[in-house]
């Protein structure tokens, strides 16, 4: 197969990985105080976080337009190549739907995949596709390969500040204030593209305790951890503790540490942290 890879800006890849495999990244956009910013173009993720903290209103994130996808697909398939377009779970963004619409209109063959993850959890599939591109004999073989990677991916996210969820209406103001008053913190796990409650406790110590148990379980499991992504919405004492715990428990792995993309920040809120694990085959 002559295959080219497309993804979106919620992914977490190094510049070297993007350059090595020629991966095309389509940016999402966000609006703060009536100004629209495209991810990693007009604003960095760190700068976005500061603006988000200062804004009285919740930022509004937008999926890339169909036309942007279509132009990219047509340019990449003009030489007869196929395109594999891998995107953030539809529960966080409608990006994958824009990609599907563009694929139906594209001149060449485009296959769109909902990764059912985000951040480095999605990057595990993007990199697997790029590395397997010259080995796969068919699209079906490639999709089976990605399903295997997906089955070996584990993602947790911990929410410590409910302000964004209250602003966005995902939690009622009364319940939000009560939960904040009681200092309740939540850890969620992403399964089948959806976030499910994993644990709740009072204070960030409860989150650290939960990750300690997660690390121990994965350390002792038959399938060993082969890669780790560490995503944050601004580092804090508790997230630094978790990062050091990961390095100590899995000393053979250097976690990829990065700011969350603006759209993920908007959902998770300040000081949230997410850890993504890839298990061995």
Residue that has been written with the tokens 């591109």 in this structure: 133
Predicted pLDDT of residue 176: 53
Taking the CA atoms of residue 157, residue 155, residue 194 and residue 43 in that order, the dihedral angle to the nearest 10 degrees is 60
**Integer Cα distance of 233 and 268 in angstroms:** 8
User: Which class for 281: exposed (0-12), middle (13-18), buried (19 or more C-beta within 10 A)?
Assistant: exposed
Would you call 66 exposed, middle or buried from its count of C-beta atoms within 10 A (0-12, 13-18, 19+)? middle
- The residues, any chain, with a CB within 8 Å of residue 111's CB and separated by 6 or more, are 82, 83, 84, 85, 103, 139, 142, 143
pLDDT at 122: 98
CATH topology of domain 3-28+63-151: Rossmann fold (3.40.50)
Pair of tokens at residue 271: 């000081």
Q: How far apart are CA 103 and CA 83, in angstroms?
A: 9
Give the list of residues 6+ apart from residue 245 with CB closer than 8 angstroms, or none: 208, 211, 212, 215
User: CB under 8 Å to 97, separation ≥6 — which residues?
Assistant: 63, 90
Give kind and range of the element (H or E) at residue 196: strand 194-202
Distance, C-alpha 132 to centroid of its chain: 21
From first to last of the 281 residues of the chain, give the pLDDT tens digit: 799 999 999 999 999 999 999 999 999 999 998 999 999 999 999 999 999 999 988 899 999 999 999 999 999 999 999 999 999 999 999 999 999 999 999 999 999 999 999 999 999 999 999 999 989 999 999 999 999 999 999 999 999 887 776 666 555 554 555 566 567 788 999 999 998 989 989 999 999 999 999 999 999 999 999 999 999 999 999 999 999 999 999 999 999 999 999 999 998 899 999 999 999 99
Cβ contacts of residue 130 below 8 Å, gap of 6+?
A: 5, 17, 20, 21, 23
How far apart are alpha carbons 184 and 163 in whole angstroms? 13
pLDDT at 184: 79
Per domain, the residue ranges of the chain are 3-28+63-151, 153-279
Under 8 Å between Cβ of 205 and 216: no
- List, in order, residues 6 or more apart from 151 with CB less than 8 Å away: none
Give the whole-angstrom CA distance, residue 9 versus residue 126.
12
User: What pLDDT, on a 0 to 100 scale, did the predictor assign at position 215?
Assistant: 98
Query: Among the CATH numbers 3.30.56.10, 3.40.50.720, 3.30.1180.10, 3.40.190.10, which is that of 153-279?
Result: 3.30.1180.10
- Cα four-point dihedral sign 140, 143, 144, 145: positive
pLDDT for position 158: 94
Cα separation, 15 vs 265, in Å, equals 21
pLDDT at 166: 66
């Amino acid at each position: 197969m002559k295959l080219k890879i497309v993804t979106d800006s919620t992914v977490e890849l190094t510049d070297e990985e993007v350059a090595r495999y020629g991966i095309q990244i389509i940016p999402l956009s966000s609006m703060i105080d009536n100004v629209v910013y495209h991810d990693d173009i007009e604003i960095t993720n760190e700068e976005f976080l500061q603006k988000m903290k200062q804004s009285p209103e919740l930022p509004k994130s937008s999926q890339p337009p169909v036309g942007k996808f279509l132009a990219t697909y047509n340019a990449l398939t003009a030489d007869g190549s196929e395109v594999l377009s891998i995107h953030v779970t539809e529960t966080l963004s409608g990006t994958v739907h824009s990609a599907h619409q563009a694929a139906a209109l594209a001149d060449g063959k485009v296959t769109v995949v909902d990764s059912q993850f985000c951040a480095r959890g999605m990057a595990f599939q993007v990199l697997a596709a790029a590395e397997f591109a010259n080995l796969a004999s068919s699209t079906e073989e490639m999709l089976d390969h990605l399903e295997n990677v997906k089955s070996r991916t584990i993602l947790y996210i911990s929410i410590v500040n409910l302000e964004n969820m209250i602003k966005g209406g995902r939690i009622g103001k009364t319940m939000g204030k009560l939960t904040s008053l009681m200092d309740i913190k939540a850890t969620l796990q992403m399964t089948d593209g959806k976030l499910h409650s994993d644990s709740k406790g009072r204070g960030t110590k409860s989150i650290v305790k939960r990750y300690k148990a997660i690390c121990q379980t994965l350390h002792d499991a038959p399938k060993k951890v082969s890669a780790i992504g560490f995503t944050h919405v601004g580092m804090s004492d508790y997230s630094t503790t978790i990062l050091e715990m990961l390095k100590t428990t899995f000393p053979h792995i250097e976690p990829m540490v990065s700011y969350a993309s603006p759209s993920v920040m908007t959902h998770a809120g300040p000081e949230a942290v997410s850890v993504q694990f890839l298990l061995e085959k």
